[in-house]
Amino acid sequence: MNSPVNAEVVGRLGRLGLNRPDSINAIDLEMMHALTETLDAWATDPAVSAILLEGLGDYGFCAGGDFREILTRAAEGMTIGTVFFRDEYRLIAKLAEHPKPIVSIMHGMTMGGGISLAGHVGLRVVSDRVKLGQPETGYGFVPDGGATWRLARTPGEIGTYLALNSADMAAADAVALGFADAVVPAARIGELTAALADAVDTAAPEEKVRRFAVSPGESAVMARRDWIDACYSADTVQEILERLWVFSSGREVGGLRASESMDPDAAAHATEAADTLLGLSPTALVATLRSVRAARDGETLREALERELRLARWFTTQPDMFTGVQALVAQNTETLHQAVVPDWKPADLSAVDVTDIVAAMETPLRHSVFPRGLGIPEDEQAAAAAAGRGARRA
């Protein structure tokens, strides 16, 4: 049986390859633990001066978390949800705080947890054919794994839009919005990895990436910022919907009309955005808006991960996550030829209990992501928290 992670040292480069290509490298517990063990070993290994995180296979870096595993274990009566998310979030923090420089290369499909693995390291590369996204509200869940921390630091209200609408990003969007640092053509990724592994060439990883990087071009999402800011700055999802409807009809929202927007198709795009929201989980939408807004308030990455774990744990007790994931799995089967519309409960935004969501976000769990008993000295915890505060902000 193949290992879910290929780990090897080439020159002085530690190469970590996600190795579940048949599932577009979906993250399971075995993969998390293999990554964690190797990162711990390489942290003090003098033979390793830098680390490369990549995904094997042609289809993508990582399609996100393996929710099939969560559903299977939940059906068996195991409390796999909390363990899965807790271990994943600890791994994400380890990648963000690792003492060795880490370069991630995202190609093809890179969704949800895939962005979380690659998106918090020191140097993030995307291929020109990458497709990134936070698709969680589409299957009854919320952006997690530090996603709200990153989304909250995008320009204006774009992070709110991306999170609520499960919108996709291209390479240019990723760089403009702070999800990546450089674009390298897919045809030259092999040359880049060879250069990073070349021990004779002592240039820093940043310099090696620069040699292959190309201009990201214009961001299509950033071109929509004026009407996104006007509509998505509302306090509730229902108010966002109402603003989108008003704006798409040609009327003014936040001092802007569709005819005045920098986006020539603003009215059509706003209509499309509203229609998308109407098909997504109302509970997930309300919780996502709350979570992204909470991440704006000076949180460190670690603090965001703690809040996200509390919310993720609550969602494993709610029907929408299981309904949504089951629909997603069914839609991906070979025998199905039409989209599956999940039966969200509740089906209306007005019926979502905001009190329960706020309580879930604020109530500490018995087993948190970073308990004092984890074996991390308090001075190191303080240093890691400081590093989180000073980390790259979009």
pTM, two decimals, is: 0.91
Tens-digit pLDDT profile for residues 224-261: 999 999 999 999 999 999 999 999 999 999 999 999 99
pLDDT for residue 1: 63
Residue keyed to tokens 């999402």: 221
Domain-embedded: residue 263: no
DSSP state of 21: G
CB 119 within 8 A of CB 135: no
Helix (H) or strand (E) holding 370: none
Residue 241 covered by a domain: no
Please report where in the chains the tokens 């000076």 appear, as a residue.
298
Whether residue 64 lies inside any domain: the answer is yes
> Distance between CA 12 and CA 37 in Å, rounded?
18
Query: Strand, coil or helix: what is 202?
Result: coil
Give how far the C-alpha of residue 51 lies from the chain's centroid of Cα atoms, to the nearest Å.
21
Residue of 266, 288, 267 whose CA lies nearest to 277: 288
Print the domain residue range for 38: 5-220+299-390
Measured CA to CA, the distance from residue 377 to residue 47 in angstroms comes to 26
Q: How many domains in the chain?
A: 1
65-106 pLDDT, tens digit each:
987 777 776 666 556 678 889 999 999 999 999 999 999 999
Supply the pLDDT for residue 390: 37
Classify residue 254: in a domain, yes or no: no
Helix axes 80-97, 67-75, angle to 10 degrees: 150
At residue 148, the 3 state secondary structure works out as helix
Provide the pLDDT for residue 339.
67
- Looking at residue 297, its pLDDT comes to 82
Residue 86 sits in a domain whose CATH number is: 3.90.226.10
Give the mean pLDDT of 305-331: 89
If one counts every other C-beta atom within 10 angstroms of the C-beta of residue 149, the result is 31
In which element (H, E) is residue 96 found?
Answer: helix 80-97
Cα separation of 183 and 152, whole Å? 23
Task: Classify residue 143: in a domain, yes or no.
Answer: yes
Contact 186, 326 (CB under 8 A): no
What pLDDT score does 388 carry?
Answer: 38
Q: Does residue 364 surpass a pLDDT of 50?
A: yes
Whole-number Å distance between alpha carbons of 154 and 195: 31
DSSP class of residue 375?
S
- Residue 19 within a domain: yes
Mean pLDDT of 113-136: 98
Distance separating alpha carbons of residues 323 and 229, to the nearest angstrom: 32
Is residue 215 included in any domain, yes or no? yes
The reply to whether 249 falls in a domain is no
Overall residue count recorded for the chain in this entry: 394
pLDDT at 173: 98
Average pLDDT, the chain: 91
